[in-house]
Amino acid sequence: MKHIWKTALFEYRRNVLKKSFILLLVSVPIFITISIGIGLLIESTEDNPLPVGIVDYADIFSNGIQLPENLVAGIVDRNKPVDFIHFPAEDDASHALIQGEIQAYYLLPLDYSQRRRVEQIYIEKPGRNAERQFYDYLQINLLSNYPTEIASRAALGTYVIVQSIDGKRVVPSGGPTFGLLMPIFFTMAILFMILMSSGYTMSAVADEKENRTMEVLVTSTSTNRLITGKILGIVAIGITLFLTWGLVIFGAALIAQRLGIGWFQNLSIDWRVMSATLFVGIPAYALAITLMTAIGAMVTSVQEGQSVSSIFIIFHLIPLYVSFIYIKNPHSPISIALSIAPFTALMTIGMRNIFTIVPIWQIIASVAVQLTCFLGALWLAGKSLRLGMLKYGQRLTWDKLLKSTNR
C-alpha cells in the first residue's frame, strides 16, 4: 500500500507542476471571466437611458396612468427604466429626436382604436428597455377604466409552468434555469476532464516505457501496484481540475446573480440529483482513465495512444444521439439500460435528470456496474503493463492481451 501512495504522489506532482497543467487550470476561469464580461457588455449596449417621446393623437394617455414600480421591476428585470415625454405634435418630437434629447418617439394615429397600429420613429434603433416599457405603459393606459391593480396584473401577462407528468420536474415559463441544468453541466465537466486527462494518462506509462525507466521501477514494486498508484495520481489531478473549476464557476454564478443577469437568478440546486450524478461520475471517470492507462501500456508511443483514446469520448456521447428517447419517455427500457451500462450511464443520467428524477435503485445499479468494470479494467491495465514490458518495442494487441489472461 505504501508503494501505491508513493507512486500516486509522484505522478500527481510530476504533472501539476508542469506549465501545461497550470495553463489548463487557469484557462477555464479566464474563459468564464471573458464570457461574462462580453455578456455584460452586450447587455449594457442593448439599453439606452435617454427618454422616449410619445405623440398621442388617439388620446390614449389622457388619464396619465404611470407604470407601477412592481410592474417595472417584474417586466423589465434589471433594464434601465426610461422616462416618457409627451409631445403635442409630431414636429416637436421629431425636433427633439434630431437634437438627441430622446432616443425615439412613438406615434399613435387618430384611428389607433380601430387599427391598433403604432409607429416607431428613430435615427438609431432604441434600446430594448425602451420598447418593452413603452408597450407596458401603453397596455396599462388602455386598461385605464379598470382598477390599477387589475390593469397591472393584466400587463404582467401569463406565467406558464411546465411540469412533468409525475410532478417531479417543474420548468418556469422562461425556460430551464441554471440550477435545473446543473446536472448536465456537471456531466459535461467530467467528460471534459476525461478528454483533458487523456494526455496525462497516456504519458503515465508510455513515456517510462520509451526511456526504459519502467524496468527499474518494477524492481521495487509489482506492476499492479505501480499501475494502481499512477491511476490514483491521475484521478487526483482530475479532481484538482474539477474542484478548481467548480469553485470558479460557482463564484461566477453568484457574481452574475448579484449583477442581475436573469438566467442566474434562480440558483437553487437539487442536491439529491447532483449527488446522484457525482456518485456515477466518479467511477465512470476512473473507469475511462484506467482503460486509457491500459491502452498506454499496450502502445509503443504516446501519440498512438492518444489517437485511440478518443473512442472513449465517443462512447460517452452516444446518449446525445438518442436523446429523443428521454424526452419522449425518460423511464423507457432503453433509457434504464443506458443509465446502467458503462460509458453511457453518466450522460444518460445527467440528461434524464432534466426531465424527471432517476430512481435510487438505478443509481445504485449504475455505480455497482461502473465499479465492477473499473476493478476489471484495473486488473487488465496491470496485465497489459506486464505483457507490454515482455514485448518491448512491439505493439501489444487486444487479442494477445486477452489470450494472455486465459493462461
Query: What would the grid cell of residue 177 be?
Result: 434555469
Q: Is residue 38 part of a domain?
A: no
On whether both 109 and 246 belong to a single domain, the answer is no
Q: What is d(CA 35, CA 45) in angstroms, rounded to the nearest whole number?
A: 16
Query: Half-sphere exposure of residue 315, counting CA atoms within 13 Å on the CB side?
Result: 18
Domain count, the chain: 2
User: Per DSSP, what are the bridge partners of residue 105?
Assistant: 53, 121
In terms of Cβ atoms closer than 10 Å to its own Cβ (0-12, 13-18, 19+), residue 13 is exposed
Residue with cell 469553485: 247
Q: Is residue 124 part of a domain?
A: yes
* CATH classification at residue 63: 3.40.190
Whole-number pLDDT of residue 202? 64
Phi/psi for 303 (5° steps) reads -60, -40
On whether both 235 and 139 belong to a single domain, the answer is no
Q: What is the pTM of this model?
A: 0.62
On whether both 237 and 344 belong to a single domain, the answer is yes
* Residue at which a domain ends, from 122, 157, 192: 157
> CA distances (Å), 220 to each of 214, 223, 385, in order?
11, 10, 15
Query: What would the grid cell of residue 45 be?
Result: 449596449
- What are the helix (H) ranges across 211-317? 214-217, 223-258, 271-298, 302-316
Whole-number pLDDT of residue 372? 92
On whether both 233 and 132 belong to a single domain, the answer is no
Degrees (nearest 5) of the Cα angle 290, 296, 302? 135
Q: Helix, strand, or coil here: 332?
A: coil
Whole-number pLDDT of residue 78? 44
Q: What is d(CA 374, CA 64) in angstroms, rounded to the nearest whole number?
A: 71
Q: What is the block-wise mean pLDDT of the chain (407 residues), using blocks of 10 residues?
A: 76 77 77 70 68 89 67 48 87 90 90 86 82 82 75 65 61 61 78 73 63 59 74 82 79 70 61 81 86 71 61 80 80 88 87 82 91 86 68 56 55
Enclosing domain of residue 227 = 175-405
Q: Is residue 246 part of a domain?
A: yes
On whether both 233 and 309 belong to a single domain, the answer is yes
> Tell me, what DSSP letter sits at residue 55?
E
On whether both 97 and 185 belong to a single domain, the answer is no
Q: Is residue 167 part of a domain?
A: no
User: Per DSSP, what are the bridge partners of residue 171?
Assistant: 162
On whether both 371 and 294 belong to a single domain, the answer is yes
Q: Is residue 197 part of a domain?
A: yes
